A and B are shown apart, each in its own frame.
Chain A
Amino acid sequence: MNKVLFTLLFFSSFVWAEEGDFYINGNAVKAISLTLGVSNIDFGDVYSDTEVDSEMVDFSVNAENGYDYTVEISDDDNTGIVQVSRTASTGYTANSITYIQTANGVDQAHEFYVDLDTANMNGDLSATITVQVAYNDIHE
């Protein structure tokens, strides 16, 4: 009888001790956010081969310090008229732009430029440029 009682007490205390040994490990990462400084660019009246000035679009990204994130700038214009570049004078492309940046934990300024390749214009233009940001890797 004494033997049985001793065994039950030991087992009970063992279980109680195990419940206190759980550790929670995690890294709090803020949600990435994006703020665009321009909502609409109206290039006004244009015709074939019109010289229009490129326009700058600024935006800020706020993400966790030290984490890499990818920025993608794309548009839905499939005629090649809308051109984007990360520099004002060169590098314009009708395709999307993708690059990786390391966050610094505060609002990080970005910019790109929008121009029109008016040589092929023969009608009104209405396009949408989409800026997308996403963390490259979130550990699970």
Chain B
Amino acid sequence: MKKLLLATSLVAMSSTAMAANTSVLLDTAVTDTLTVTAKYVTPIAVALDTSTIDFGDVWTDSLIDAEAVVATVTGEIGETFTYSVVTDGTLAQLSGDITGTTVGFVTSDTTQALNFEVDLDTSAATTAGSINEIITVQVVYDAIADTVIDGA
């Protein structure tokens, strides 16, 4: 009889101790994701085939030939750019491709050539001394896509 009672108690204790958390959800990590994207574009660049134009000695109303300059613009296919060619003085005369907008790298070519000419207004060159002007070619993309955030 005692053995039977003891065995019954042991079975009862054992079944109590076996209770356990079998939940899968609580022990499982919860994750969520977001994507980060960006489009790499080639930085726009411009190169001139001429660094210096020396018209030599001139005097008022000298007849000189205009000099041709080629500016090669390199950029991303599909993008467009705006350009300008300006001088910081008053005697240099610019003609040709000296201003433009939405010029596109629309074909498979990643370069665009800008052709302009530099002349000198010798009628206004009335003062003795050197004529020194700097001509600047500026190119800039028309539109660079900004950041866009999508909510969940």
Contacts and interface: CB of A to CB of B under 8 A. Distances in A.
A103 B30 CA distance: 15
Contact of B37 (A15, A35, A43): A43
Given A82-B36, A132-B30, A31 B25 contact: yes
Which applies to chain A's interface (DSSP): helix, strand, loop or mixed? strand
B32 A131 contact: yes
Interface string B131-149: 0000000000000111111
B50 interface: no
A7 B37 contact: no
A130 B148 CA distance: 19
Contact of A125 (B29, B33, B34, B40): B40
A132 B34 CA distance: 12
Interface in B28-65: 28-43
Given A77-B36, A128-B34, 15 more contacts: A18-B9, A24-B19, A40-B35, A40-B149, A42-B148, A43-B36, A44-B144, A52-B147, A114-B36, A121-B40, A125-B38, A130-B32, A132-B31, A135-B27, A140-B21
11 contacts: A18-B8, A34-B30, A36-B34, A37-B152, A39-B152, A41-B36, A47-B43, A52-B147, A77-B36, A124-B38, A138-B23
Interface of A: 7, 11, 14-15, 18, 22, 24, 29, 31-48, 52-53, 55, 57, 59, 75, 77, 82, 114, 116, 121-135, 138-140
